[in-house]
Amino acid sequence: MLFFNGMNCGPEQYQWLAINLVERGLVVVVFSWIAENLPGIIALTPGVDLSMLMPNAYGNGPTASALPTLLAELEHLQAEGILAGLLDLDHVILGGHSAGGRVAIESANSGFFPQVAAAFAYGAHTAAIMQLGYAANTILPLPDSLPLLLMGGTCDGVIANSSDRYGVEWEQPITPIQRTFHEAIVGGRNDSYLFLLKGANHFSMTDPMDMTTGRPFLDFPATHSSAELRHLMAEAIALFIETHACAKTTATKTLQQLFEANRPLIAAFEQK
């Protein structure tokens, strides 16, 4: 599983998730990518190819600029070293948080990368940035060729307070994530999921919290235990991967049971 961080979020903030998934038999890659994604601004990024977000290019290629390099490194690790011969490179999962989640789900196209099997994102959506030339209130389509899991929290202040760049005021913090699920994905295979957590905010996905990332001041306070929310996220992600990338026959039933058993923490669960 390749995990794409949020802007200015260090890979150590996702170690908790990596450990959880490694304990279940997965190999997890987190990374640091320094780039000038915006003119004059050099930062720790998930690797965003702005040229592929432009109206004349969107959908014709991946928006994750770091992905080809990461896949090449996996080939190297498969050839030599401690992981040689142990990687299943025909079933690569893409995941990410915030901007990293967006490039993960936008790049999860078997036509771009046949080795990619599924993708998930937390705190991400495909609302179009007006500065790139899009009309206000536009939701861009996703490739919709692979299983997807879209997650978010009802207290996501970063999404709520960043709506101006999309030319709209969101009704709720989760509105663009819901719209991405309903409008950007055709569905019909029952392998796309919307999973919204009550009381989770934008940085509920990270641990430890880092106030230097430049966005926490926008966030709303989480109203549920961070540890409890992360546990539920990790279980949902693991079962999604086991169902759609590892072909574990019992995982689908367990995924449904997970949502039923945690209804007090779940704002919405949809499948299509």
Q: pLDDT (tens digit, 9 = 90+) per residue, 72-92?
A: 999 999 999 999 999 999 999
Q: Are 60 and 52 contacting, i.e. CB atoms less than 8 angstroms apart?
A: yes
Query: What phi-psi label fits residue 40: left (phi over 0), alpha (psi between -120 and 50 degrees) or beta?
Result: left
Overall domain count for the chain? 1
CA 78 to chain centre: 25
Instruction: Work out the pLDDT band at 249, boundaries 50, 70, 90.
Output: confident
**pLDDT of res. 38:** 67
Q: Is the pLDDT of residue 127 over 70?
A: yes
- We report the CATH number of the domain holding residue 117 as 3.40.50.1820
Give the largest Cα separation in the chain, rounded: 51
Query: Domain span at residue 207?
Result: 2-271
- Report the predicted TM-score, pTM, of the whole model to 2 decimal places: 0.95
Contacts of 19 (CB under 8 A, 6+ apart): none
| Dihedral over Cα of 94, 97, 100, 106: its sign | positive
What's the pLDDT tens digit per position in 183-222? Answer: 999 999 999 999 999 999 999 999 988 888 778 889 999 9
Residue closest to 105 by CA, chosen among 61, 149, 74, 72: 149
